[in-house]
Structure 1
Amino acid sequence: MEFDLSTQPEIVQQAAGYALQVWELAMSWALSPAAWSQFALLIVAWLLAVVAARRLRGWLVPVLTPAAESENMLAQGRRFALTLLPLLLPLLAYVFTAIGESVVRSVFDSGAVIAFGKRVFMFVAARTLAREILQDPLLKLLGRYILIPVAALYALGLLDLLVDKLNAMTVSLGNISFSVMSLVRGIIAGGVLFWLGGWSNRQTSQFIEKQEEMRPSLRQLLAKVVEFSIFGVAFLLLLNIMGINLSALAVIGGAVGVGLGFGLQKIASNFISGVILLIEGQATVGDYVELDGGESGQIVRMTARAAILETFDGRWIVVPNEDFITTRVTNYSDSGSANRYEAPFSVSYDTDINLVPDIIEAAVATHPDVLDAPYPPDCELRGFGDSGIDFAVEFWVNGLDDGPNKYTSDVLFLIWNALKEHDIEIPYPQRVVEIKGGLPQAEA
């Protein structure tokens, strides 16, 4: 049956031509004994793959399953291998079909049907990978909208035709030109490369954070160096995959350099200041700092541009790294060093003040957070006030007397209880009023 499509659009004529070719191919397969034998071989290969996959799965699952509490690299690799078990069936079918293909080609000198079957099995494997194995949202998106369509085109034998069409189409951006196929490859490779970069960066950062013998600032610096290195290599690989000549980026690099020199001075300065801070370790994550500008808080994060301070009332302050280099910074923590505080109090003039230091020092020393080094609690006489004798007890602790820690409040409670226990009076203001000339007499 023939149709006159000369008046139809070109795309309709091309579609009709492809449909006619598919119809002729299907009819030739339907009437060919060699094609039927190859169909039978595909069915046998699939059934053998079902049996083999079931046996192998029953043997591999106990071997690959690690102990529940195991978290080392080998255990993680075994858990990852377990997630790939759904690929056993289509891949075994592909292998058995490839073995039978050599026999069929030697007998019938034809293997078009069995080659089509192999491509179908690869499509099934790609579909299983995208739907059942990939869990990362980005990879799942790439699998669903790129991997599966590409595998379908490959199974139908249309992938080469599409690639030729995309290679013929070019895009130009100034001195840089590339084909649409290069752009498609770049999108696919970029997604995979930057996902791999993010995953490897997370794994490396976790490994570095576990090295407790290293200074926190050095761990932060190594993590940043690894992060920039990974994504820098990924970017260069992506340009190479897209077929972009790196020498063509020289003009862009020069423009970026001029931009850094004029408009991005602060960003470059903050970046270099951040590197200096990480190397010297004068302020790092966990330290409580106060700047000349009045900003104070605990450093909870250090980025390439700024440090983030968290105050005890829950506010975050973003401080540029340059401020830590060009202004005076008071570091109250210094990566966990001890701090000294004091709690003032007074006693009555009727008290034997020689007993007070020993009583108070013993009481304050019972606090679990008060340290014996560099100095134990020290009670000092500060002066003779209007209403009582003034003392103050100095004590050392690891941490800040604010937020979750109420060291001074706890110590004052201990002082109060100790003075009450020894019947020592805590005075209150007293005044003597003298009335010259005596009190006026009341009239009768």
Structure 2
Amino acid sequence: MGINGFPKDFVIGTATASYQIEGAVLEGGRGASIWDIFSHMPGRILNGDTGDIACDHYHRYPEDIALMKEVGLKGYRMSVAWPRIFPQGRGKPSTAGLDFYNRLVDALLENDIEPMITLYHWDLPQALQELGGWGNRDTTDYFADYAYTVFNALGDRVKKWNTLNEPWVSAFAGHYIGRHAPGMRDAALAVQVSHHLMLAHAKAVEAFRQSGRDGQIGIALNLYPMYPASPSEEDERAARFADGYHNRWFLDPVLKGTYPEDMLAIYRERFNAPDIRSGDMELIGRNPVDFLGINYYFRKVIRRSESTDILQLNEVKPEGSEYTEMGWEVWPQGLLDLLGRIHKDYQDPRMVITENGAAFKDEIIMDGVVQDEDRIRFLQGHLEAARQAIAEGIRLEGFYIWSLIDNFEWAFGYSKRFGIFHVDYGTLERKWKKSAQWLKKFIEENGLN
């Protein structure tokens, strides 16, 4: 154990995603993704924003890596854009696309920053969407081929991988709620897509094992500790269902190789989905992860409702709590509760916080530095929860802050700022925030650089 309670090899890093920062959507032979199409649909994104330019990381990555190095970050979680590698989603890989990520990985390693690559952070090639997208079972095989190509190209240097980022969002926000690409509102399709994503995950893990590359592979799930709004039986039951919908529906197949029986019964009764074919669960079960990635932002407090939502529940916002610009409650205890629950219920898996961070207004600038004391308090609280989890024997191995730089925040466009570095979207200039200065000092004081 290092000083101040963190293991000496504990990784503190930052996280980003390709569509949110890269821009250069027409360069290097890149094909269109579902987010290119969705973001250009009128009324879908706040202010009509798109990721066409984003933060121009495609050209400015040396500058961004220099910022990481100056802070003392030892890890960088990034995603590869599938349509940069396969512009049509399949076929022959793009040399230009692979060259870009080769240059990026090399530059990270030259600066003593370890890359963690996410293969899928929501930018499905539009050509595959036109064949049915994640509703088409064939997409799981195309994903496995893409994954194998990336493992083969980068796996001699990259040792940490995520298959998918937040499959709940891809499935339900994208196909049931409709606020994310591809913008559909079909509950049965969303449930089927969730199963195809679990199949794609398992096939990618299998491809990694077959590639002969050494390293670790996991998945990043967006998870929420669930708290009933009252001790009533109705609220307790609603919180249990919410846990199944958000958490167990993905935790169980990833860590146990099965779907939770209560949720399977609900989905089959209401939607006659998912269609699970012979051999599917065997495939999922025989491809365990090396670690579980957890994206934690806030807790959910649940009350029973008679609404027409899938699970007939309402989320309650506790009075007196602090909330971020996203309307998310600041609740570090939830991270500790969540880690403890997974440790207990899923046989002590290795875990990494693959995302944690907050959006605030970031309006006050003094001496060229954005004064974001609220973000510093947020990070202090959650890093302290991580330290406490480690003290309690939980196998937590890293903490990646969302995000390195302000970026395209999906349906919110450029209106929400999560970065520890400020981006001027007119000039693309990067500017230090006080949180980045604080993090540099934190890393030094804890011997994590």
Same fold (TM over 0.5): no
Provide the TM-score with structure 2 as the length reference: 0.22
Q: Higher helix proportion, which one? A: 1
Q: Which has the higher contact order (CA 8 A, sep 6+)?
A: 2
Provide the TM-score with structure 1 as the length reference: 0.22
